[in-house]
Every structure is written in structure tokens, then in C-alpha cells.
Amino acid sequence: MVNLFRGFVLLWLSCIGIVHAADTGWLVSPQNDHARIRFQAEREQAHIKGLLTVELKPGWKTYWRSPGEGGVAPKISWPEGVTDSWSWPVPSRFDISGMTTQGYHDKVTIPIVLDGVKSDTLDGTLTLSTCSNVCLLTDYPLHLDFNQPVDEGFQAAFEQAMRTVPGTSGVSADLAAWLSVDKLVITGTTDGKWDNPGIYFDPLEGDVLPGEPVIKHDGNTLRVAVPVTDEWGDKPVSLEGKKLSFVLTNGGNAQQTNMTVGAAPAEPSAPGGTGKMVLFALLGGLILNLMPCVLPVMGMKLNSILQAGSDRRAIRLRFLATSAGILTSFMLLAAMVTALKLTGASLGWGIQFQNPWFIGLMVAVTFLFALNLFGAFEMLLPSAAAGRLATAGGTGLGGSFCEGMFATLLATPCSAPFLGTAVAFALGAPLHSLWLIFLMLGVGMSLPWLFVALVPKTAMMLPKPGRWMNTLKTILGLMMLASSLWLVTLLSLHLGEAVSQIVMLVLIAIALALFAKKGQTSSPLFWVVVIALSVSGGYQLRGLLNSPSDATTQSVAQTIPWQPLSEEAIQHALAQGKRVFVDISADWCVTCKVNEHRVLRQPDVIAALSQPDVVALRGDWSQPSALIAEFLAKRNRYAIPFNEVYGPGAPDGEILSPLLDKHTLVTTLNNAKG
């Protein structure tokens, strides 16, 4: 009987050990009213299970076990002999002022297991870093009394918190990692397909810090490229053999991965999809001939055909020379892009128009070509060197070659269908593939010119030479002069509006004077041109004489409520269940202006983009911008215009065609509601 009673006592004592519990209640520090914390714990045999809950006010965050490029991870200081093991839920990424950090916002509950607790009371100090525009490091004293009653919901809460902790499988069993130049590359596959994947890194062995990753996925394949530096900001020479730890997410699943960085794989001689991209490059180059940027040069070539008359050999040679000029220009562009790529500079199609010196050169060349077509150049620049330059727009193989190069330079502000895809592939591919794609772009743009060179009969379909040729030359000269004046407007970003208007007035005055001197006053076209140039000059003079306040008053207010473009703005809008329309354009992008007038200024499009649940974000790439260059590169795009739609139904974003279509835009925006 005594033994039976003693057994009941021992069982009762053991049960007491199981149900001992502690709860600090909600704690708020006088130095930090932006956060409150709570620590709950229950003793379970030799261990103590704990839950640390942190609640943050909107706009505030705290940090994961690896904060990233800034911040401090939460830590609890316990008495000697007490150890803790933290199980971290999946974090979020925050990008502020160019720094990438990892942590939590709103509320997070972190499961913790304690060992070595021998008494019924335990004291510790939680050190918590919370940040918004400023950062606060706050200490919270913790007092745990395990004689408190058990919370019946604690075990369920602990199990729920553990479900937010990544497992060791469930996302991908096929992962590889290696160093490529200054980026850590991780590739993998998953069952099914990737759904808004994310990745969160611990520091690599040797204090190598990963930056913001660029994640690309297609079906079941994934590729992550993340810049890495050591604690001094230098690029590591090698990462092979170093330990790598990260959390990888796919939809609602998360996986903790520990692996070793391997050697870089051998570069394939022909990346997958090269054949398809060669076709895209050919089509993209061919379509460039239809863009408004190239029309003035097409007109110049038409004029050269008229000058050649019925001489098939002359027509063939001139068109072959033009094709050679196009191919040479694309090879020079490939060399320029190669140099930029090797130096780590920003890449993009048409970015040379961000340089005021290049724009100034193009203004001079187009203006000289216009005067040449007016037949007045020899009166402007009598020097032999300038004469040779002007003659390049006229007769001779050298002139045809220059026309081809000039056509290519004027085509670069335009992004045509297929072109953006081909350029994006080229800029992300090995150098030999880059040169191949640029060569095919040149071949594609040369196809119409090569066709005429091979079949000169097509050029003979033009009417016989006559007086109408003078009228055509005048029209072509006006087209080229219009191109020159448009280029002058691009200088306003670099030199100011007033200087740009003065330059334009001077060019108009010179063209008007020389055209009046050489023109035939009896011709109706003469007076049409004089009136057009006079009206244009008067408009520029009026703009120059107006005060800034007058100009502001006269300008039409934006009807679409555009906001500045940023990754944070997209994520913030998606978190609120809103739709997002992204538009990246530039003053030098002709296709962007076409989209602006044909689509974005239409009343139904304006109404769709002005709805309360739509956020319209615009990026201006008229001048160099690292933010826009990184934004485009993250989406494997390097040409503008760029338009993308996000929403609950399109969380990964849907990229639209470079040539916007009103129906497609509105439909995609409606589908993004989800």
C-alpha cells in the first residue's frame, strides 16, 4: 500500500514538471512605443518550449537571424548554463537606400527551445532592433515564473508557429551553386512550376555577404543571381568549397537548404534557345525599317536611286554599301556593349542617347544632311572636310555606306517587336552569342536593302526623273530637318529648355534663309515650307520669351496620376490588393512617344489607370538611372518602352508588347484583378 501511494506521488510530481508554465504578458519599453513583445513558455520534461511574439506598428520592422546588409538579429541573454535554440519563420526582404535587409513586419512569432533551466524562475534580457526611418535598439527584461497556470492554447500556438518554419525539403531536391564573375548563381528545378519564388541568405563562410538577388524562373526551372562581396566590399576571387545556407520559397512552401558552392560549369557553346533568338533578331532588325526613326534615311536612299537613274550596277553597289554600313554599325554597337559588359556598366538598347555629346553630334549630322537635300550646303561650310561629310548624304559608295551607319544610329531609340527579346538574350548571354545576335540584327535590318541590291528591277519601278524630283528632295530635306529639330529637344534635359530653344531657333533661321535663297518662289511648295518653318520658329520664340510660371500655366496637367517607379511601390500596392501599371520611357524613345499618343492618352485608358485600385508607376530613362537599369535587368529586359501589369491575378507581373495596344492593355489590367 505504501509503495502504491509512493508511486502516485511520483507520478503527480512528474506531472507538475510537465505542466509548469510562464508568461511575461505584453511588454512595452518607454524608449520604444513602436513595438511590444511577449514571451510564453511551458516546461516539457527536460526542455522548455517558448514563444517570442513581436508586434510592430505599421512601417516598422525587425530582423531575421541574418539581417543582411544592416540591422541586428533579436537575441536573448540568459543566465550561465541556459542555452536556447531558435526556429526562424520565413522572413521578408526590405530594400531601403540601396541596402538589402531581411526580417519581419507587422507580427512574428518565433519558437524557441530552452535547455539547462533548473529552477522554477528564469530571468533574461531580450535585445530587439526595430527600424523605420530610424532604428532603435531596445532591451526588454524577461521574468519567467513556471508556477503559473498552464495556457490551454499554448501547445496549439507552438505547433502553429513551427509550421511557419522552413523544413529541409519540399521545394527543390535539385540545386547547384557556383560563382560567376562577381555573382553567386544558384539553379534548381521543382515539381510542377515555380510560383513567386523567394530566397533569403545567411552570410557565406568567410563573411561573404550576398546582396539583392535577381530571380528568374520559367516553368519548373529557376536561376538566381546575387552579387556577393566580402566585409571590405571587395569581390571574392573564389567561393568553391564554401558552405552556403539559405531559405528557398515557392508559393506557400519553404525549404532550409545547406550546401557547398561548387565549380562554375563549363560555358555551353550554344545556349538553349539561340536558334530561336537568331530568328527574333532577324525579325526585329527587319521591323526596324518600318519605324519612324529610319524613315528620313529611307528617303535619302530613295533620292540616291533617282540620281542613279537606270544604272542597275550603280543601284546594286549603293545598296550593298548601305547594307555594309548597317552591319558595320551593329558590329560597333556590339563592341560598345561588350566593353560595357566587361566593365560592369549599365546596359541598354539606345542608351547612347543619354549622352549630350552624342545627341549634339546627331543634331549636326542630320542638319547637314537636310541642308544637302536643300542644295544649300556649299554656302554653309565651304571647307573640303565638311564638304566630304555633307556629300556623304548624297552620291557615291562612301555616301551610301554612311547612310547605312546613320540609319542604324537613328534606329536605336526605337524598340520594335522581337527586338527587345533578342537584345535581352544577347546582353545576358556569353560574348560569342552576343556578337551573333547583333550580327543577325544587322542582317535583318539590311534585308530590304540587300533585296534591292540583288533585284535592281524593283528600283526601276519608280517614275522617270523629272521636276517632281526637286519637290521630293524638298520633302526629304524637311523630314531630315524635323529629325534634327527633334534631337535638339533632347538637349533640353542636359542644357536647359532655354538653350535648347535658342539652338532650335538658330537652326530654323539658317534653314529658312538658305531654303529661301535656293528655293523657287513661284512654287506653292516653297511658301508651304516657308510658312511651316516660320510657324515653328515663332512657336519656339514664344516659348523662349514666356516666363516659367507662364509655361507651367500653359502646360496640360497629367491626367494619369503617375507615381515614381520603385520595387517597394509595387510590393506595397500588391500588399494592399491593388493593381499596378509600370511604364518606363524616355524622351529619346520614339516608340515610347507613339505609345503615349496612340494608347496612353486615350480616354478609356486614362479612366482605367485612374481607378482607385490602380497604381500607375512611371520611370524616366531619358538620363542614366541605376534604379531603372537594375529594374529592367531584373526582368531580363534592356530596351524601352517597357510596360508591365501586376495585381492579385498577376503577382509575378505580365510584360506587355513594346508597341502598346489599347485593348490588350485594358484587358490585361482587368485580368490582374484576380
What is the tens place of the pLDDT at every residue in 261-291? Answer: 888 775 444 444 567 777 877 777 777 666 5
Which pLDDT score, from 0 to 100, does residue 594 have? 76
Which pLDDT score, from 0 to 100, does residue 205 have? 76
Digit-coded pLDDT (tens) for 506-520: 777 777 676 666 555
Tell me the pLDDT band of 14, cut-offs 50, 70 and 90.
very low
Question: Among positive and negative, which fits the CA dihedral 532, 536, 542, 546?
Answer: positive
User: What is the side-by-side strand order in the sheet with 253-260?
Assistant: 198-201, 243-250, 253-260
CATH 3.40.30.10 residue ranges in the chain? 562-671
Q: ∠ CA(109), CA(112), CA(113), 5° rounding?
A: 155
Strands 562-564, 135-145: parallel, antiparallel or unpaired by DSSP?
unpaired
Given a cut of 80, is residue 459 above it in pLDDT?
no
Enclosing H/E stretch for 101: strand 99-105
Beta bridge partners of 247: 200, 256
Q: Measured between alpha carbons, how far is 518 from 376 in angstroms, rounded to an integer? A: 7
Q: Measured between alpha carbons, how far is 265 from 241 in angstroms, rounded to an integer? A: 14
Strands 579-585, 614-620: parallel, antiparallel or unpaired by DSSP?
parallel
Q: Measured between alpha carbons, how far is 605 from 583 in angstroms, rounded to an integer? A: 13
Higher pLDDT, 313 or 642: 642
- 20-158: which CATH topology? Immunoglobulin-like (2.60.40)
Higher pLDDT, 660 or 357: 660
Given a cut of 60, is residue 464 above it in pLDDT?
no
Q: Measured between alpha carbons, how far is 74 from 574 in angstroms, rounded to an integer? A: 28
CATH 2.60.40.1250 residue ranges in the chain? 20-158
DSSP letters of 336-352?
HHHHHHHHT----TTGG
Q: Measured between alpha carbons, how far is 111 from 53 in angstroms, rounded to an integer? A: 9
Which pLDDT score, from 0 to 100, does residue 367 have? 72
Given a cut of 60, is residue 4 above it in pLDDT?
no
CATH 2.60.40.1150 residue ranges in the chain? 174-260
The CA-atom distances, in angstroms, between 624 and each of 10, 17, 535, 641 are: 77, 67, 34, 15
- Minimum mean pLDDT among 108-117, 194-203, 553-562, 619-628: which range? 553-562
Given a cut of 70, is residue 9 above it in pLDDT?
no
Q: Measured between alpha carbons, how far is 423 from 441 in angstroms, rounded to an integer? A: 9
Which pLDDT score, from 0 to 100, does residue 436 have? 83
User: Model-level pTM?
Assistant: 0.47
Higher pLDDT, 559 or 371: 559
Which pLDDT score, from 0 to 100, does residue 586 have? 83
Which pLDDT score, from 0 to 100, does residue 325 have? 82
Distance of CA 455 to the CA centre of its chain: 43
Q: Measured between alpha carbons, how far is 312 from 309 in angstroms, rounded to an integer? A: 8
Given a cut of 60, is residue 395 above it in pLDDT?
no
Which pLDDT score, from 0 to 100, does residue 191 have? 87
Tell me the pLDDT band of 628, cut-offs 50, 70 and 90.
confident
Given a cut of 80, is residue 585 above it in pLDDT?
yes
Which pLDDT score, from 0 to 100, does residue 509 have? 73
Q: What is the mean pLDDT of the chain?
A: 75
Digit-coded pLDDT (tens) for 342-366: 655 555 555 566 667 766 766 776 6
Q: Measured between alpha carbons, how far is 253 from 672 in angstroms, rounded to an integer? A: 23
Which pLDDT score, from 0 to 100, does residue 595 have? 82
Q: What is the mean pLDDT of residues 375-384?
A: 43
Greatest mean pLDDT among 23-27, 208-212, 655-659? 23-27
Instruction: Just give the CATH number of 562-671.
Output: 3.40.30.10
Which pLDDT score, from 0 to 100, does residue 592 have? 80
- Architecture of the 174-260 domain: Sandwich (2.60)
Greatest mean pLDDT among 265-279, 443-457, 639-653? 639-653
Given a cut of 50, is residue 25 above it in pLDDT?
yes
Q: Measured between alpha carbons, how far is 114 from 622 in angstroms, rounded to an integer? A: 58
DSSP letters of 46-61?
TEEEEEEEEEE-TT-E
Q: What is the mean pLDDT of residues 61-88?
A: 92
